[in-house]
């Protein structure tokens, strides 16, 4: 048996196909890893409530969510990194003037500052999570928020990037951008969990495919980019496996000697 390791998996385009299906080979591989004594975790940009069913299906209780801003180890919250609310309030006012809606997100729910908008419907629908944000323009008050979604066409986020230096802006959809605390990333979240578990960097692995995986794949010693990943993502990974639709997780785990 190989030495016990911790393996982090992104969700969209990594564990799940672009149709949001979990390949049979991936599910089997995850359970085989756990059977062999490895720790399996998720590292995603999604909110915790957006992948509850997947966690149940794979029996996973350790995860990095909101791109590192809300981290859970064995069902227990061990690290949070909320957004700066005064800055967020100003950003929201600017977005409102520009006709760009926002969605506020904490660990339990998401609320939009407008009753409805085509950009919100279009982008959230692609996640196929079975829920949409309801309207509450004051949801940011009196609570910790770990991510906000800013809805604007490509390129228009630049004005916010210049104005709000305590946020990072990561595009995940042609009309939507993640707004995160500056410097927060999946890599930081993984660092918190790996430290608690006591795994050295040689026994940390990460699979990903998206732009929000770049920092993770650059940082984690044993990084694997999916075959369907963008070229700039593949460029920073140590290994490249097949696409998610071609049993890329199983292939990648065999490639690095975990299965």
What span, in angstroms and rounded, lies between the C-alpha atoms of 67 and 77?
15
For residue 218, give the 3-state DSSP assignment: helix
Q: How many CA atoms lie within 13 A of 8 on its CB side?
A: 38
Q: Examine the residue annotation and report whether 144 is marked as an active-site residue of this protein.
A: no
Q: For residues 43 and 10, is the Cβ–Cβ distance under 8 A?
A: yes
**From the CB of residue 171, how many other CB atoms can be counted at a distance below 10 Å?**
17
**Which candidate in 10, 12, 168, 209 is catalytic?**
10
| Strand order across the 204-208 sheet | 76-80, 70-73, 63-65, 39-43, 6-9, 204-208, 222-225, 239-240
Spatial distance between the Cα atoms of 16 and 13, rounded to a whole number of angstroms? 5
Task: Enumerate the active-site residues.
Answer: 10
């Amino acid at each position: 048996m190989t030495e016990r390791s911790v393996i982090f998996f992104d969700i969209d385009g990594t564990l799940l196909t672009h149709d949001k299906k979990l390949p049979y080979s991936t599910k089997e591989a995850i359970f085989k890893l756990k059977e062999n004594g490895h720790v399996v975790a998720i590292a995603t940009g999604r909110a915790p409530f957006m992948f509850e069913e997947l966690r149940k299906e794979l029996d996973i209780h350790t995860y990095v969510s909101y791109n590192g801003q809300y981290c859970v180890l064995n069902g227990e919250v061990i690290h949070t990194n909320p957004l700066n609310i005064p800055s967020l309030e100003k950003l929201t006012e600017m977005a409102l003037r520009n006709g760009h809606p926002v969605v506020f997100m904490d660990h339990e729910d998401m609320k939009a500052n407008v009753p409805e908008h085509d950009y919100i419907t279009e982008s959230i629908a692609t996640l196929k999570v079975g829920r949409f944000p309801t309207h509450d323009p004051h949801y940011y008050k009196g609570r910790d928020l770990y991510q906000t979604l800013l809805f604007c066409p490509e390129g228009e986020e630049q004005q916010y990037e210049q104005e709000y230096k305590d946020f990072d802006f990561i595009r995940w959809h042609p009309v939507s951008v993640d707004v995160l605390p500056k410097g927060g990333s999946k890599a930081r979240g993984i660092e918190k969990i790996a430290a608690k578990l006591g795994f050295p960097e040689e026994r940390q692995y990460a699979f990903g495919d998206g732009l929000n995986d770049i920092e993770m794949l650059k940082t984690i010693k044993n990084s694997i980019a999916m075959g369907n990943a963008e070229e700039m993502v593949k460029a920073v990974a140590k290994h490249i496996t097949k696409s998610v639709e071609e049993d890329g997780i199983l292939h990648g785990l065999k490639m690095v000697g975990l299965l």
